[in-house]
Amino acid sequence: MSVTEFKSTQTTPPDLADIPLPHPGRGTHLVTVRAAGAVRCLSHSVARLARWWRRFGSCLCRPSAWTLWDQPRALVGYLLGVEAVALAAVLTLIATGPSVSAQDWMHAAVLAACATLHVTGSRWHEESRRHENGNLRVHIDLGGLWSVAALLVLPPALLVGVIVLIRWQRWPIARKPAWRYVFSTSAILLAAVSARAALNATGPHHWTALDLLDSTTQLLLVLGVGLIYNTVQAALIGAAFALEQARATARMMLGGRQDNAEAAIGTVGAVLVTVTLANAPAVVGVVSIGLVIVAAVLHTNEHLRHDVKTGVLNAAGWQGAAHRELHRARHNQTPTAVLIVDADQFKGINDRWGHLIGDVVLREIATALRTDTRPTDIVGRFGGEEFALLLPDTDTDSATQVAERVRTRIAHLRVPVTTRRGHTTVLTGRQAPPVAPRPDDTNTPPEADTRVISVSIGVAADTGPHLDLTRLLSDADAALYQAKAHGRNRVEVAHPAPAPQALATTP
């Protein structure tokens, strides 16, 4: 019989001696267990803080050791100048801004909670996008819609707090130097301050009980504010990218077409969040959950088409994109080229240095392929150490020049790695000068020549209505084997036979 079902059959109160007493050590045991759990949580927190301090604390205490000072002087001056202006602008806006009301705190709490849900739930998609972009172009964070919504409804102090919270939560997946991330945050804050100043200049705004004319006016103003926010941010970060990269292009500085389209959609989403927050704050959570679901779907679709290790298209994704491009080329009668790129003696790198370092080398090769090709070129990994490129509107001579440029860049690569024994070294291209050990480096053992990175490339190009992907791949593959047979680290061009003609029929 359970305790909840027990009924006493005694008509008189029981003697105190008959009442069961609790175990004398039970309460003490519970207190001990809970105290031990609290101590463990505290110790874990202290351990995490200690790991963070070992990683960053000593560097913070020694500004002379910051990697910021290794950058070009023009870039360093620009970064520090933007950060100083951002700090001054933020302090000025907070000092001159209105006081914070209870409703403002409620709106800030809702935005912070929903932004945290979105940032946490979309972490894998955002990390995949950052990995795909690499250092090839600026990265547009899709969590910016919460910053736009915050600048529309929150006073300056809470606006800055929400932006800093979002950036703090993005830090674990950023995987970039602290000085770069601090500058990006400063650029975002300066863009938010600029957009908020423009919003304040247009007069007070409200988001409830709007008729058609008022809602249209407010929508246009908000879209203009979002445009200012995105433009200022892109200009500041793009200028820094241009100072850092000697051969920066507009795509590198301003982001890709898809990134900017998603940023525009984010601005529209910020409008919906703002109106919902003013009229039904609890519904904003539904918007956040919807964004997480969309990010999960996008992440799944990206993984179906992209190679996880290198960020370029996988074989299936490359084949689909290549077939679509060839259909266009056959219709327009334009030339198309295919390059097959194979890392030379890659098995030796894996055997000697380990598969993890082999993956690092593959990523660097993929980065070189994307850097030295156009945005319209299709880059994919066919498996192992083999990559394929499809170059639209490219004849044999131009394709050969591209292949030679790619081969030269890879032959001069420098890839810092950590060996399986924990030593640091630099793997380089076969045409790069040997790496001289530093005089103060006593951890790196004497190794053999580390010039182990190079590729062989086969080129095939064709034009006309008979363009066929299988034939181009076969010709490029044959040229690749010729490059391997002739000593590797070279480019060979296939010369396909004329296309078959239809046989004449006799009457």
Residue-wise pLDDT tens digits, 286-298: 666 766 666 666 6
Note the pLDDT of residue 223.
Answer: 79
Q: Which residue has the tokens 């894996």?
A: 350
Confidence of residue 301 (pLDDT cuts 50, 70, 90): low
pLDDT-derived band of residue 7, with 50, 70 and 90 as boundaries? Answer: very low
What is the fold of 315-437+445-493?
Alpha-Beta Plaits (3.30.70)
pLDDT at 488 over 80: yes
Q: Which of 150-164, 169-183, 378-392, 488-502 has the lowest mean pLDDT?
A: 488-502
Q: Computed from CA positions of residues 408, 414, 415, 419, in that sequence, does the dihedral angle turn out positive or negative?
A: positive
DSSP reduced 3-state for 493: strand
Q: Which residues pair with 425 in a beta bridge?
A: 417
CB 373 within 8 A of CB 354: no
For residue 443, the model assigns a pLDDT of 44
Three-state DSSP at 476 gives helix
Q: Measuring CA to CA, which residue among 160, 183, 150 is closest to residue 93?
A: 160
Q: Where is pLDDT greater, at 493 or 502?
A: 493
Q: Note the pTM of the prediction, 2 decimals.
A: 0.54
pLDDT of residue 252: 56
Length of the chain: 507
Distance (Å, whole) CA 27 – CA 366: 62
- Residue whose entry in the numeric block shows the structure tokens 């110790």: 43
What confidence category does residue 15 fall into, taking pLDDT thresholds of 50, 70 and 90? very low
pLDDT score for 294: 65
* Per-residue pLDDT at 431: 80
- Answer whether residue 305 shows pLDDT above 80: no
Please state, in angstroms and rounded to a whole number, the distance separating the CA atoms of residues 306 and 424: 30
Judge whether residue 500 has pLDDT over 70.
no
- The 10s digit of each residue's pLDDT in 393-451 is 999 999 999 999 999 999 988 888 776 666 677 888 888 776 655 444 444 444 446 78
Give mean pLDDT, residues 240-245: 78
The pLDDT-based confidence of 121 (bands split at 50, 70, 90) is confident
Which amino acid, 430?
Answer: R
> Is 80 exceeded by the pLDDT of residue 380?
yes
Strand order in the sheet with 451-453: 414-418, 424-429, 451-453
The pLDDT value given to residue 219: 77
> Higher confidence at residue 240 or residue 43?
240
pLDDT classification of 18: cutoffs 50, 70, 90 = very low
Q: What is the pLDDT of residue 61?
A: 57
| Maximum average pLDDT range among 33-37, 187-191, 329-333 | 187-191
pLDDT confidence of 491, banded at 50, 70, 90? very high
| Structure confidence by residue, pLDDT tens digits, 216-237 | 877 788 778 878 888 888 888 8
Q: Is the pLDDT of residue 39 over 70?
A: no
> Looking at the predicted structure, is the pLDDT value of residue 17 above 60?
no
Whole-number pLDDT of residue 429: 83
Helices (H) and strands (E) in the chain, counts: 17, 8
pLDDT of res. 22: 45
Instruction: Spell out the residues 6+ positions from residue 26 whose beta carbon is closer than 8 angstroms to its own.
Output: none
Percent of the chain's residues with pLDDT above 70: 64
Mean pLDDT for 63-83 is 81
What are the domain boundaries of the chain? Answer: 67-305, 315-437+445-493
Is the pLDDT at 485 greater than 50? The verdict is: yes
Instruction: Identify the residue whose tokens are 């045409």.
Output: 431
Report the pLDDT value the prediction gives residue 446, as an integer from 0 to 100: 45
Mean pLDDT of the chain: 75
Which SS3 state, helix, strand or coil, does residue 343 take?
A: strand
6: pLDDT strictly greater than 50:
no
- 3-state DSSP call for residue 427? strand
pLDDT > 90: what percent of the chain? 18
